[in-house]
Amino acid sequence: MSLATLTFDDWCALDGATAHHRAEEAARQAGGTLAEWESDPARGPVPHRAVIERDGQRFALIPGGEVRIGFDVAAWIPTAEQLRSYREETVAGGFGFDAGLSAHLAEVLTPRRTVTLPTVLMAVEAESLSDVPSEVPGLLATRGLRPPTPDEWEHACGAGAENLFRWGDTYPSHCSPYGEGLGPHRLPNAFGLSIGHDVYEAEMTGDPGHVHGGDGGEAVCGGYGTFLGRLPLATANHNPQVAEFLHSPDGEDQYEDFSVRPVIELG
């Protein structure tokens, strides 16, 4: 089995020794070294985690194939606290949001769907943009990299989980959605990525209409409420308004406030 045909389901089903061999193969192909390795069934549905270092940058192995991503808003049942926050903090705050929480989520979350993705290496940490968004793909290409597609970003973040957030459907209200501190968002995800961890970290993708990982702090700074202030960390949240701003003249003047998570393609 070549790395190009290694699927997420295959990866999760492999024994530790075979998975380690595939991880080393990926490291060789990328011209790097296997810097971190973990294999333990107790880790949950994704038992293996491989982090490869190349040119001083760390990348996680993200197996692809046919995977499910997005979020099923129709099947989601909000908690009493989520409803209270939306009604009493967001709607009552006069920000112009619709009274229906599910309707709002349907606008900002991508729908549940099945897609076919390649197996890639994705940067553990996003990096700040070094130029305007239109120039980023070319700059990454000179390093043998590219931006992730929106589907790749969602799969890499959720790692097969169907929850609202990569760790579950709720967010502890006592945890800050940005900066340092404790909370599920501060932990590496199942693939070893530091992702969906700070609402101020808005990551561009290869699609100008999709920004993931955060909203630049808009909801928090705007006082949209506890729930909406944390919603930008949801795996399927693609922030269409933030994406529009990033690719506008005003946004291009502030490109250093945005980031990108480079990808290495595997043959």
Q: Which residue has the tokens 């959720």?
A: 158
Give me the DSSP letters along 81-116. HHHHIIIIIIITTTS---S-HHHHHHHHBPBPEEEE
Q: Kind of pairing, strands 202-204 and 258-260? A: parallel
Report the percent of the chain where pLDDT is more than 90: 89
127 backbone dihedrals φ, ψ, rounded to 5°: -120, 145
Q: Residues 199, 151, 108, CA angle at the centre, nearest 5°? A: 50
pLDDT of residue 251: 82
Q: What is the arrangement of strands in the sheet containing 211-212, beginning at the earlier edge strand?
A: 127-128, 258-260, 202-204, 211-212
Cα radius of gyration rounded to whole Å, the chain: 18
246 backbone dihedrals φ, ψ, rounded to 5°: -55, -40
Spatial distance between the Cα atoms of 19 and 11, rounded to a whole number of angstroms:
7
pLDDT of residue 174: 81
The single-letter DSSP state of residue 168 is B
Q: Which helix (H) or strand (E) holds 66?
A: strand 65-69
Band of pLDDT at residue 106, cut at 50, 70 and 90: very high
pLDDT of residue 96: 86
The mean pLDDT of the chain is 95
Q: Which residue has the tokens 């043998």?
A: 144
More confident residue, 212 or 267: 212
pLDDT of residue 195: 98
Confidence check: pLDDT of 173 > 80: no
pLDDT of residue 97: 85
Mean pLDDT of 39-66: 97
Q: Which helix (H) or strand (E) holds 194?
A: none
What is the tens place of the pLDDT at every residue in 183-204? Answer: 999 999 999 999 999 999 999 9
Q: Is residue 24 packed enough to be buried (19+ CB in 10 Å), middle (13-18) or exposed (0-12)?
A: middle
Dihedral sign for Cα 37, 39, 42, 43, please: positive
Residue (of 192, 202, 190, 128) closest to 165 by Cα position: 190
Mean pLDDT of 163-181: 90
Q: Tokens in use for 191?
A: 């693939």
Q: Domains along the chain?
A: 3-265 (3.90.1580)
Give me the DSSP letters along 223-235. T--HHHHHGGGST
Confidence check: pLDDT of 210 > 70: yes
More confident residue, 231 or 173: 231
Confidence check: pLDDT of 99 > 80: no
Confidence check: pLDDT of 1 > 70: no
Q: Are the CB atoms for 156 and 199 separated by under 8 Å?
A: no
Which residues have C-beta within 8 Å of that of residue 144, sequence separation ≥ 6?
A: 264
b/e map of 226-263 (b: 16 or more CB within 10 Å)?
bbbbbbbbbbbbbbeebbebbbeeebbeebeebbbbbb
What is the tens place of the pLDDT at every residue in 127-142? Answer: 999 999 999 999 999 9
Confidence check: pLDDT of 2 > 80: no
What is the tens place of the pLDDT at every residue in 107-127? Answer: 999 999 999 999 999 999 999
pLDDT of residue 155: 98
Q: Are the CB atoms for 146 and 260 separated by under 8 Å?
A: no
Q: What is the pTM of this model?
A: 0.96
Mean pLDDT of 72-82: 96
